[in-house]
C-alpha cells in the first residue's frame, strides 16, 4: 500500500549442496537455461511479461513524465514494468532517489530488454527518504532516462525552494531522430504560489534559449494559475485540449483529481497524448508521441 502523497501534502508535510546425481543434473540443466536463454531483446535475461498492446521496443518519438512518489512503499520492479509498457525514448522522473532509479534502470534492462542512459538532478540528500545513514544519506531529486546518449547536462537548484529544496535539470538528447533540449523539474508544493512564480521565472529564462524544447515535470499548479503563465507563453501543453483558459479541458494527473503534471512542447507538435493512472504512485503517468518534424 503506497503512502498517499495527498495526505502528506494536507498534513504539510545456500542452498545445501546436493549429493544425488539427479540434483547435479538439474543444476546443469538450470545453468544451461541461464546461459542459452530464453533472452529478451538487447541481451536481457528474461523475456518481457507485459499487457497486451504494450510497446515491443523503445518508441523513438515518445516522451514521458512521472512523479514516482517518495517516500512511498513501492516496488521498483513494478515501476519499471509500468515504464516498459510504454517504452518511451525519454523519461523524466520526479521525487527520485538515485538508488531507486538505478534499480528501475536495471529492471528495464534485465527483465524487459530496454537499455537507458541516465542523468541526475539531485537537490538534496535525505536518509529518511532515500535510505543510507544520517552521515551518508541517499541523493534525491529528478532524473532523466534516455535511450539515446545525453550531453550538455545542466542542473540548477532554484534560489528559493519553498518548504523543500527544488530545482530543474536539462540535457540534450534525441527524440524522434532529432536533437532536442529536455528539461525536468519539480516545483514547490501547494499553497506556495509566490515561490513557484519565481521558480518558473528561472526555468522559463533557460527554456527560452532553445527553439526546440520539451519541459517535463510536476508543477504543483493547475493550468490557469498565474505562476505558470511564463511557460504557457513559451510552449504549449502536449494535450491540445489543455489550455490556461476557461475553455481548456485538462485531464487530472493525480489521485486527488488535480492537473499538476505537464509535458510542454516548444517548437514541436504532438501526435498523441495520454494520461495513465497507476496504482504505483499518487501521480499518473503522462506520455506523448511527437511528430518527427
CB 82 within 8 A of CB 278: yes
The answer to whether position 205 is within a domain reads yes
The answer to whether position 39 is within a domain reads no
Domain count, the chain: 1
The answer to whether position 150 is within a domain reads yes
Residue from 92, 91, 87, 149 nearest 114 by CA:
87
Domain that holds residue 160: 5-13+56-290
CA–CA separation, 280 and 74 (whole Å): 6
CA–CA separation, 21 and 24 (whole Å): 5
Measured over the CA atoms of residue 99, residue 287, residue 116 and residue 216, the dihedral's sign is negative
Residue 136, pLDDT score: 84
The answer to whether position 159 is within a domain reads yes
The answer to whether position 22 is within a domain reads no
CA–CA separation, 142 and 123 (whole Å): 8
Q: Is the pLDDT of residue 234 over 50?
A: yes
pTM (2 d.p.): 0.84
Q: Residue 193: CB partners within 8 Å, gap ≥ 6?
A: 221, 225, 226, 227
Cell of 150: 545525453
* Across 5-25, average pLDDT: 40
Residue 26, pLDDT score: 46
Residue 29, pLDDT score: 40
Q: Is the pLDDT of residue 45 over 60?
A: no
Q: Is the pLDDT of residue 42 over 50?
A: no
Instruction: List, for residues 211-231, the tens digit of each pLDDT value.
Output: 999 999 999 999 999 999 999
The answer to whether position 102 is within a domain reads yes
Residue 148, pLDDT score: 98
Residue 48, pLDDT score: 56
**Percentage of the chain exceeding pLDDT 90:** 74
Q: Lowest mean pLDDT: which of 19-28, 139-148, 206-215, 235-244?
A: 19-28
Residue from 208, 207, 261 nearest 238 by CA:
261
**Residue 273 vs residues 98, 128, 146, 288: alpha-carbon distances, Å:** 28, 35, 19, 4
Instruction: List, for residues 94-129, the tens digit of each pLDDT value.
Output: 999 999 999 999 999 999 999 999 999 999 998 888
Instruction: List, for residues 141-161, the tens digit of each pLDDT value.
Output: 999 999 999 999 999 999 999
Instruction: List, for residues 188-198, the tens digit of each pLDDT value.
Output: 998 999 999 99
Q: Is the pLDDT of residue 2 over 80?
A: no
The answer to whether position 123 is within a domain reads yes
Residue 244, pLDDT score: 96
| β-pair partners for 136 | 133
Q: Is the pLDDT of residue 37 over 70?
A: no
Residue 128, pLDDT score: 85
The answer to whether position 35 is within a domain reads no
CATH number at residue 141: 3.60.10.10
- Average pLDDT of every residue of the chain: 87
Measured over the CA atoms of residue 42, residue 103, residue 67 and residue 122, the dihedral's sign is negative
Amino acid at each position: 500500500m503506497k503512502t498517499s502523497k495527498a495526505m502528506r501534502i494536507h498534513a504539510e508535510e545456500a542452498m545445501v549442496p546436493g549429493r544425488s546425481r539427479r540434483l547435479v543434473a538439474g543444476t546443469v540443466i538450470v545453468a544451461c537455461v541461464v546461459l542459452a536463454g530464453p533472452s529478451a531483446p538487447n541481451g536481457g535475461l528474461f523475456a518481457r511479461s507485459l499487457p497486451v498492446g504494450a510497446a515491443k521496443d523503445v518508441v523513438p518519438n515518445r516522451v514521458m513524465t512521472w512523479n514516482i512518489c517518495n517516500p512511498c512503499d513501492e516496488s521498483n520492479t513494478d515501476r519499471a514494468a509500468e515504464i516498459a509498457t510504454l517504452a518511451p525514448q525519454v523519461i523524466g522522473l520526479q521525487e527520485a532517489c538515485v538508488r531507486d532509479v538505478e534499480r528501475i534502470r536495471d529492471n528495464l534492462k534485465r527483465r524487459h530488454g530496454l537499455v537507458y542512459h541516465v542523468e541526475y538532478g539531485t537537490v538534496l540528500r535525505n536518509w529518511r527518504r532515500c535510505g543510507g545513514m544520517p552521515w551518508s544519506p541517499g541523493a534525491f531529486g529528478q532524473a532523466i532516462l534516455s535511450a539515446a546518449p545525453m550531453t550538455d547536462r545542466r542542473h540548477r537548484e532554484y534560489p528559493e525552494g519553498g518548504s523543500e529544496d527544488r530545482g530543474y535539470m536539462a540535457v540534450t538528447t534525441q527524440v524522434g531522430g532529432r536533437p532536442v533540449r529536455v528539461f525536468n523539474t519539480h516545483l514547490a508544493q501547494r499553497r506556495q504560489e509566490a515561490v513557484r512564480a519565481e521558480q518558473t521565472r528561472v526555468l522559463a529564462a533557460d527554456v527560452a534559449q532553445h527553439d526546440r524544447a520539451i519541459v517535463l515535470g510536476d508543477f504543483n499548479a493547475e493550468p490557469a494559475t498565474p505562476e505558470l503563465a511564463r511557460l504557457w507563453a513559451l510552449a504549449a501543453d502536449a494535450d491540445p485540449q489543455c489550455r490556461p483558459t476557461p475553455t481548456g479541458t485538462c485531464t487530472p494527473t493525480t489521485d486527488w483529481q488535480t492537473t499538476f503534471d505537464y509535458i510542454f512542447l516548444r517548437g514541436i507538435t504532438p501526435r498523441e497524448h495520454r494520461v495513465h493512472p497507476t496504482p504505483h504512485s499518487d501521480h499518473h503517468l503522462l506520455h506523448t508521441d511527437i511528430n518527427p518534424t
